[in-house]
C-alpha cells in the first residue's frame, strides 16, 4: 500500500507553485495531521478497499479519502480548497510503482465542519475510487 501513498504524494508535489498545493501551503498529511498543524491543510488515507488489498492480486481497487480543513470564519476558503482539490485529483493519472493506474474517480463530497471550535473549522471529506492493475 505504500506505493499508492507514495504515488499520491508524488503527484501532489508535481505542481508545487499552483493549484491545490499552493492553496494548502504544501500541507498534505498521510492518515493524521500533526498536532498544532497550520490551517488550511489536507489529510488523506485509505477509507476502504474492494479486495482486502495486499497487492498480491492482479487488480486492486481502493477508496481514498481526502479531508480538507480550513479554520476561517468564512466557508469560502473551504469551498476554494474543495475546487482546487477536485481540479488536481479528478481523473488524475497516478504513477504507482509496479502497477498500471486505471482510474481515479471522485465518488462523493460531504461537509466536514466543526463549528464548536473558535474560529470554526470548515471542511469537506472527498472520496475517490482508485483502480490499479499489476504491470506485466
Do the domain assignments include residue 16? yes
Chain segment 6-19, per-residue pLDDT in tens: 999 999 998 777 79
Q: How many domains does the chain have?
A: 1
Show the domain range for 108: 2-33+45-134
Distance (Å, whole) CA 88 – CA 23: 11
Q: What is the pTM of this model?
A: 0.90
Do the domain assignments include residue 86? yes
Chain segment 56-104, per-residue pLDDT in tens: 568 888 999 999 999 977 788 999 999 999 999 999 999 999 999 889 9
Chain segment 107-119, per-residue pLDDT in tens: 999 999 988 888 8
The domain that holds 89 is classified in CATH as 3.30.2000
Which pLDDT value is given to residue 58?
Answer: 80
Which pLDDT value is given to residue 6?
Answer: 95
Strand order, beta sheet including 99-111: 28-30, 41-49, 59-71, 121-134, 99-111
Do the domain assignments include residue 39? no
Distance (Å, whole) CA 97 – CA 135: 9
Do the domain assignments include residue 8? yes
Amino acid at each position: 500500500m505504500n506505493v499508492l501513498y507514495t504515488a499520491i504524494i508524488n503527484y501532489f508535489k508535481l505542481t508545487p507553485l499552483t493549484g491545490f498545493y499552493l492553496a494548502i501551503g504544501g500541507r498534505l498529511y498521510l492518515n493524521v495531521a500533526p498536532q498544532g498543524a497550520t490551517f488550511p491543510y489536507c489529510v488523506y488515507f485509505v477509507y476502504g478497499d474492494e479486495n482486502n488489498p495486499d497487492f498480491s492480486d492482479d487488480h486492486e481497487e481502493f477508496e481514498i479519502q481526502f479531508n480538507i480543513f480550513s479554520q476561517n470564519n468564512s466557508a469560502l476558503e473551504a469551498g476554494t480548497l474543495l475546487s482546487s482539490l477536485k481540479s488536481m485529483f479528478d481523473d488524475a493519472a497516478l504513477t504507482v510503482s509496479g502497477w498500471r493506474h486505471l482510474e481515479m474517480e471522485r465518488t462523493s463530497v460531504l461537509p466536514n465542519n466543526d463549528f464548536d471550535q473558535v474560529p470554526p473549522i470548515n471542511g469537506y471529506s472527498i472520496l475517490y475510487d482508485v483502480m490499479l492493475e499489476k504491470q506485466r
